[in-house]
Chains A and B, each alone.
Chain A
């Protein structure tokens, strides 16, 4: 069963001047953990707001739980849970008061669905009398997730839930999402962190309002066209400049410890020639090895490909 269906949805702001979404289409199956991966300004929040019936769009069709997002606002609002990108709870209310308030707003009580939020709530329960505004970033996100879950929604929309959260809390957060999947809740999550993409079942890479690719994370990686090498030296920034000037280098990007490089003719001879010419430039401690592409590599590749298409 398809829980979320988006067909050729376009949305522009400021009377058509700014195109936020450009003919976006995708489907999310029931019980799926679906990720929208893209940088800030890619159109993720607009898409979430369209699906949660908060904003209008210019063309296309979208439905949640088979309800039209433009016509059946009330029905959709009853069945979904939404956690906006910005912390959107009452800062002057305590943890418990917030949860209680959102439970009653959804015509339910904490007791009724406690089993669903228990695992998350026990972590913030020691602070239940603290004002929500005084919680740490990770705690805030956990509380917001509790509030979005308290009415046992069928579809959960999480807009950048891990932005501004420390690494440990981010990891915990994703583990919680995996457990929620067992409750058959369909989850749509967006994130600008490429490493989190691997934790989703299927992802859509989105950039400048267009979806570049939809597949499982493994599927997206397997579509990466060229063998990829990691290369490092003592002077990383000079190395990157030199790599980008080389004719036999197809692409070179900085990725932490190694620069990721793909070659025009990826054979060992070409690789040796590249290393030789770099040594000639005086670079020391050169090291090059084949590596597996990451989602970020795929993203950059797709981005360049798309950009190339539009500029021709």
Chain B
């Protein structure tokens, strides 16, 4: 046991005496969470729109009020003629035009349905799509507030429904992704590099010619990074809830427990990489190329997996972060319990066991 603790103390010395390692360990996650949370969000705010209201009644005024209150829109001008609207689009002044037909309020009141015309700038289809989705959401919100009785037919017919993220906040999508990405990077990179460094410095030679049990050696390598990853997890969670208004609807204990499972899986990947490489550069390269890119591609937080061809979707199944991403989203955003995510957890658990078994088995008790 003293062997074990002495080894772990040594590992902490390595970490805390190397400013580069420290920076990577704690600077990287903070930078990433802030970047993804703020700078790189696909959320669109403060878009200029024009409104042309031909009815000028209570119904249209209420909708316009709601639109103006939204942080996504800035209503710049109103009551433009169709020609003026076209000119404004051409100049690029506005992103969206909303037209209320004459008798909008009256139709809504008496016929039970009315329509709004929304004109988007399709030269930037993604932005206008997003804006129209925002708008639809707001109109729908208006409609549900003004529903006269529970059973009555909807007043304004909108098909779109946004579950769990009615405000379409970007951070709710990114935080679980960044969480997966950062934990993956830190664990895999740090563990693989720390073992390979011993090989490179020649200290592995001395360690091998000692009574130290190889299993103990590998575990002592993993323990410090497991602890540091938990610290990282806490930092990310605190940052995302305070700065990015990320909700935590589910159980924190469950989240931490399953995150630990994911961290262990990543540590196992790191150990595996370190067993197959001889230089720190090589270990770093494999960790980055082999982990960062697949994690970005196949986790689902940057590119929706549903849109991918089946071959890529099949590949995504072997990426641990895909499962972890589903778990985090389910716990944090949907507030689901373990019964809803036991399948994903089981997959991660099996991956972890398999990877650990392989890396212990492949650990070389000799030099090659």
Q: Which residues of A contact B (CB under 8 A)?
A: 49, 52-56, 73-74, 77-78, 80, 82, 84, 86-93, 97, 100-102, 104-107, 147-148
Contacts and interface: CB of A to CB of B under 8 A. Distances in A.
B202 interface: yes
B211 interface: yes
Contacts of B13: 90, 92-93, 97
A3 to B, nearest CB: 16
A152 B350 CA distance: 44
23 contacts: A53-B366, A54-B208, A54-B366, A55-B366, A73-B365, A74-B211, A77-B210, A78-B211, A82-B205, A84-B202, A86-B202, A88-B203, A88-B206, A90-B10, A91-B201, A92-B18, A101-B7, A101-B10, A104-B3, A104-B6, A105-B207, A106-B211, A107-B2
Given A54-B367, A104-B3, A90 B203 contact: yes
Nearest to A52: B209
Interface of B: 2-3, 6-7, 10, 13-14, 17-18, 201-203, 205-212, 365-368
Contacts of B368: 55
Nearest to B210: A105
Nearest to A104: B6
A258 to B, nearest CB: 40
A89 B13 CA distance: 14
Which interface residue of A55, A87, A91, A101 has the most chain B CB atoms within 10 A? Answer: A101
A53 B207 CA distance: 12
Contacts, number: 76
Nearest to B213: A74
Given A92-B13, A92-B17, A97-B13, A106 B366 contact: no
Contacts of B17: 92
Given A52-B209, A55-B366, 12 more contacts: A53-B208, A53-B209, A54-B366, A74-B211, A77-B211, A80-B209, A82-B206, A84-B206, A89-B203, A90-B10, A106-B210, A148-B206
Contacts of A80: 209
A185 to B, nearest CB: 16
Nearest to A82: B209
A140 to B, nearest CB: 12
Nearest to A109: B2
A107 B211 contact: yes
B206 to A, nearest CB: 5
A100 B6 contact: yes
Nearest to A77: B209
A53 B366 CA distance: 7
A212 to B, nearest CB: 27
A160 B209 CA distance: 17
A86 B201 CA distance: 9
A53 B364 CA distance: 12
A54 B209 contact: yes
A49 B208 CA distance: 11
Contacts of A148: 206
A36 to B, nearest CB: 17
Contacts of A101: 6-7, 10
B367 A105 contact: no
A86 to B, nearest CB: 5
